[in-house]
Amino acid sequence: MSKQFDVIVIGGGPGGYIAAIRAAQLGFNVACIDEWKNAKGGPALGGTCTNVGCIPSKALLQSSEHFEQAGHHFADHGIEVKGLSLDMPKMIGRKDTVVKQNNEGVLYLFKKNKVTFFHGRGSFVASKDGVYDIRVAGTAEEVISAKHIIVATGSNARTLPGTPFDEETILSNDGALRMVDVPKKLGLIGSGVIGLEMGSVWRRLGAEVTVLEGLPTFLGAVDQQIAKEAHKAFTKQGLKIELGVKVGEIKTSKKGVSVAYTNAKGEAQALDVDKLIISIGRVANTIGLAPETVGLKLDERGAIVVDGDCKTNLPHVWAIGDVVRGPMLAHKAEEEGVAVAERIAGQHGHVNFNTIPWVIYTSPEIAWVGQTEEQLKAAGRAYKAGTFPFLANGRARALGDTTGMVKMLADAATDEILGVHIVGPMASELIAECVVAMEFRASSEDIARICHAHPSLSEATKEAALAVDKRTLNF
Ligand code: FAD
Ligand code: NAI
């Protein structure tokens, strides 16, 4: 007789592990299956986010930013640093420790919440009388069963046809986070989120970085006033970004990689680099899940088809996170995980897609929530815009980091905030206030009337709100 659970979660990334914990909190007997292995073959819970995504990238962004500050900006503060050097194995080792702490944190949370963890690959076997059998293939093989299944199997890096990742020369996010030698020349294909974050890390550490982007517009999904400001800052830092290119043949040799491409003017070019990171998006992962055995429906891109509530075509089978439609973000996966656990319990879990914040952890950081000016124009919505530059913010001056601005967009008639876009210091933290404001359907006047601590970067948000009504106080 197979082990019986109320809920089985397949995948222990931010979507899956949070769904498992919430379901356990709601009184269900929950199992979570995850196959990720650490270097010793043991479990490494937390998925892409913890192992090769959000956490290690932010660890390296922080370390490399310290190096950049010590090398180029401490002198402005009267601090002289002599003999600055890099200990790359130590930096990568620190990143690995941060990852391990997070892996162990999830295991601890499972114990605390009495979630039964299975280390191995989970696949659908059969369904009978409304109960699903799931095979777990780990060091041993066993079948476990439950009425409710939550699939949270995440995503994998996409590559170009004929150019598989070898993680030595042609790198996905995985290899990009593991290099122990700083390449002299680094190429990236795709100037999206990974391209900019990883490009920033390795440029700060000394690589000459070139990013080849297929689209003619830089950060096309971002408010273009903000994107232009960011592009200016990255270019000034020495990040070479070529837009509107068409990538052709990619050849690897002992010397490195040669990328043939056509530039925006249609001229044939070649980029010769030591290493190449391909960051052109990610694809939903259902490898080994055996969805066909139970008739679980996938779309033409391989994502599991779900409705607005994360229900699949099968009764009591749900799917969340990167393996379904919507932005591929850890906090989106988590929100869906909580909502699904609550729906299984008969509650009304909800996810507001309009208030999911986006953050790009470069320097300056880029963060936004809600609609861009371009989206509002395209929708024919009448709006008012207010911007406030960090150059006029006392805290930013004291920090020595005055790049960028806060931009607020509000409905022309009701003044409801429709979007907030930030490029500048600590944008990742500043955006939280704006998400709260939008969740509560605040007006720009509401933000303008709230007391913000002085001196703080958040005063720039208040001033942007005042700017919507053309009455900034400090600019
Ligand atoms: P995943 O995190 O991919 O987890 C899926 C898990 O399921 C994995 O552990 C996998 O091994 C396991 N699995 C798959 N199939 C099976 C199976 N059949 N049986 C058992 N286990 C299985 N997002 C942010 O919000 N902020 C960031 O700063 C950020 N930075 C990122 C940086 C990088 C370099 C990358 C690549 C991504 C980043 N993301 C970031 C995106 C974020 O990592 C994903 O959106 C998030 O991890 C998705 O969570 P998930 O639970 O859906 O899937
Ligand atoms: P992305 O979708 O952010 O960017 C991919 C870029 O590659 C786009 O600009 C696209 O136009 C370009 N591109 C696609 N095909 C191309 C081609 N053939 N030639 C040249 N350019 C091409 O994808 P990315 O950077 O791989 O990241 C994947 C996802 O991971 C992100 O969309 C995001 O959801 C998540 N992520 C989130 C982070 C965060 O929240 N801070 C950090 C890193 C990743």
CA-proximal residue: ligand 1, atom 27 (nearest): 54
CB 131, CB 149: distance < 8 Å: no
pLDDT at 60: 98
Ramachandran region, residue 197 (left: φ > 0; alpha: ψ -120 to 50; beta: rest)? alpha
Please report the sign of the dihedral spanned by the C-alpha atoms of residue 143, residue 144, residue 145, residue 150.
Answer: negative
Closest listed ligand to the CA of 48: 1
C-beta of 278 in contact with ligand 2 (< 6 A): no
Q: pTM of the entire structure?
A: 0.98
Strand order in the sheet with 275-278: 170-171, 275-278, 185-189, 208-212, 240-242
Taking the centre of ligand 2 as the mean of its atom positions, its distance from the CA of residue 227, in whole angstroms, is 15
Question: What distance, in Å, lies between the first and last C-alpha atoms of the chain?
Answer: 72
**CA 252, 253, 255 angle in degrees (round to 5)?**
120
Ligand 2: nearest atom to the Cα of 157: 26
Type and span of the H or E element at 472:
none
- pLDDT truncated to tens, each residue of the chain (475 aa)? 689 999 999 999 999 999 999 999 999 999 999 999 999 999 999 999 999 999 999 999 999 999 999 999 999 999 999 999 999 999 999 999 999 999 999 999 999 999 999 999 999 999 999 999 999 999 889 999 999 999 999 999 999 999 999 999 999 999 999 999 999 999 999 999 999 999 999 999 999 999 999 999 999 999 999 999 999 999 999 999 999 999 999 999 999 999 999 999 999 999 999 999 999 999 999 999 999 999 999 999 999 999 999 999 999 999 999 999 999 999 999 999 999 999 999 999 999 999 999 999 999 999 999 999 999 999 999 999 999 999 999 999 999 999 999 999 999 999 999 999 999 999 999 999 999 999 999 999 999 999 999 999 999 999 999 999 999 999 9
CA-proximal residue: ligand 2, atom 30 (nearest): 328
In 53-179, where does DSSP find H-type helix? 54-68, 88-113, 173-176
Read off the tokens for 359.
């953050």
Taking the centre of ligand 1 as the mean of its atom positions, its distance from the CA of residue 53, in whole angstroms, is 7
Domain architecture of the chain: domains with CATH: 3-157+283-351 (3.50.50.60), 170-280 (3.50.50.60), 357-468 (3.30.390.30)
Phi, psi of 139 (to 5 degrees): -65, -35
β-bridge mates for residue 271, sequence order: 259
Give catalytic status of residue 454 as yes or no.
yes
Ligand 2: nearest atom to the Cα of 215: 11
CA distance 331 to 336: 9
C-beta of 248 in contact with ligand 2 (< 6 A): no
**Which residues lie below 8 Å from residue 89, measured CB to CB, with a gap of 6+?**
180
CA-proximal residue: ligand 2, atom 2 (nearest): 281
Ligand 1 pocket: which of 33, 54, 139, 304 to mutate (most atoms <8 Å of CB)?
A: 54
